[in-house]
Amino acid sequence: MNKVFSYFLLAVVPASVMFGCTSKQEVAFKHIGNPLIRHMYTADPSARVFDGKLYLYTSHDRDDTDQNAHFDMTDWHVFSTNNLTDWVDHGAFFSLDDVAWASKQAWAPDAVMRNGKYYFYYPIEQSMIGVAVSDSPVAGFKDPLGKPLIDNTGNKQTVGREPIDPAILIDDDGQAYMFFGCRDARVVKLKDNMIELDGEIQPVQINGIDQFTEKIGGGWYGEGPWVFKRGQYYYYMYSNGWEKDTTLVYAMAKNPMGPFDYIGEVMTPVGAGTSHGSITEFKGKWYVFYHSKLLSNQGKQRSVHFDEIFFDKNGKIIPLQYKH
Ligand code: FUB
């Protein structure tokens, strides 16, 4: 048995003892340390709190993934918890089979609640973003448009080369924004119905970086945006690339559409090949959710983690020291 496999077994066996099927598709499990999710490979965690309960929407790296393919993922999972210790995996609640206009690359999603409905945003085929709607946060999502909300076909200048990784902010005044993009950072307002764009797609300006050198690292914008508000500041977190020493970094602004000022690292590098995460407040504490390749040692079989994070008196994030 090789070292990686024996670690995997040690990590999964204790957790599997605690699994219990709550229904045909649901799996109950406990958080026993990082990685949080050990019964399957998950990535790109989007943590949301709806009515006091935390929901985690993730993409899903397949057990039989082709390591040479470009993230051949086919469905998304949602998990929930009331206390960060007891979790339920509600299963693959949405998949490529639910989308008539696309057939590959089910990548990093996000979901929000508005007026009692749940809106799920998902990138597909490295070129489109769709939306699905449900009355429940964990099931029943349907594509109301029958077409993508964002599509870069013939329109890369405005939409960006790779419109992936949607992240939604609903501001205090009710205005919703969708951030997205790989290498080209973009933002667009959404109408109140959450399924239509409201105005033009715009570049996100990040002061203090040189985006046009194509040199990854530092404040360079790679992908995986996540925007949240804390106090008077909007925080724009994102990945700065795909090397061993790249990670989640952030910029801050007093306006949701920026311009943002680059600040620095949210956390030290995880070395998963990709960095993608979310930050949310839950029961008075702040947490960062992210992924690693700890269980598999493969960048295309990732595992979701979370840790508490802290801010200094000026509102800056005290970088999380990732422990391998
Ligand atoms: O999981 C597939 C892709 O890898 C995501 O869309 C990116 O953010 C990166 O994590």
Query: What's residue 319's pLDDT?
Result: 98
Pairwise CA distance, residues 121 & 110, whole Å: 5
Question: pLDDT of 111-155, one tens digit each?
Answer: 999 999 999 999 999 999 999 999 999 999 999 999 999 999 999
The verdict on the CB of residue 108 being under 6 Å from ligand 1 is yes
- The verdict on whether 44 is a catalytic residue reads yes
Burial class (CB in 10 A: 0-12, 13-18, 19+), 183: middle
Query: What's residue 214's pLDDT?
Result: 75
Q: CA distances (Å), 295 to each of 7, 232, 288, in order?
A: 7, 38, 19
Question: pLDDT of 177-231, one tens digit each?
Answer: 999 999 999 999 999 999 999 999 999 999 999 988 878 999 999 999 999 999 9
Ligand 1 atom with the shortest distance to the CA of 123: 6
* Mean pLDDT value across the chain: 92
Taking 90 as the threshold, does the pLDDT of residue 13 lie above it?
Answer: no
Distance (angstroms) between ligand 1 centre and the Cα of 165 equals 7
Pairwise CA distance, residues 190 & 209, whole Å: 27
Query: What's residue 212's pLDDT?
Result: 85
Pairwise CA distance, residues 170 & 300, whole Å: 31
Query: What's residue 261's pLDDT?
Result: 98
Distance (angstroms) between ligand 1 centre and the Cα of 276 equals 7
237 pLDDT band, cuts 50/70/90, is very high
Ligand 1 atom with the shortest distance to the CA of 44: 10
25 pLDDT band, cuts 50/70/90, is confident
Ligand 1 atom with the shortest distance to the CA of 223: 8
The conformation of residue 202, written as its DSSP 8-state character, comes to E
Which tokens go with 244?
A: 């061993």
DSSP 263-292: EEESB----SSS---EEEEETTEEEEEEEE
| Marked catalytic residue, from 66, 223, 245, 281 | 223
| Marked catalytic residue, from 44, 89, 98, 143 | 44
Which residue CA neighbors atom 3 of ligand 1 most closely? 107
The verdict on the CB of residue 43 being under 6 Å from ligand 1 is yes
The verdict on the CB of residue 276 being under 6 Å from ligand 1 is yes
Query: What's residue 7's pLDDT?
Result: 34
- The verdict on whether 261 is a catalytic residue reads no
Query: What's residue 184's pLDDT?
Result: 97
The verdict on the CB of residue 274 being under 6 Å from ligand 1 is yes
Question: pLDDT of 80-98, one tens digit each?
Answer: 999 999 999 999 999 999 9
**Residues 65, 67, 70, 74: what is their CA dihedral angle, to the nearest 10 degrees?**
10
Over range 14-41, report the average pLDDT: 74
Ligand 1 atom with the shortest distance to the CA of 165: 6
Pairwise CA distance, residues 77 & 79, whole Å: 7
Q: Show the CA angle centred on residue 253, arms to residues 250 and 256, nearest 5°.
A: 105
Which tokens go with 70?
A: 């470009």
Query: What's residue 213's pLDDT?
Result: 81
Q: What is the pTM of this model?
A: 0.93
Number of H helices, E strands in the chain: 2, 23
Taking 50 as the threshold, does the pLDDT of residue 12 lie above it?
Answer: no
Query: What's residue 45's pLDDT?
Result: 98
Query: What's residue 258's pLDDT?
Result: 96
Taking 70 as the threshold, does the pLDDT of residue 62 lie above it?
Answer: yes
Query: What's residue 9's pLDDT?
Result: 35
22 pLDDT band, cuts 50/70/90, is very low
Residue with tokens 């309960």: 53
Tell me the domains of the chain and their CATH numbers: 3-318 (2.115.10.20)
Taking 90 as the threshold, does the pLDDT of residue 8 lie above it?
Answer: no
Taking 50 as the threshold, does the pLDDT of residue 16 lie above it?
Answer: no
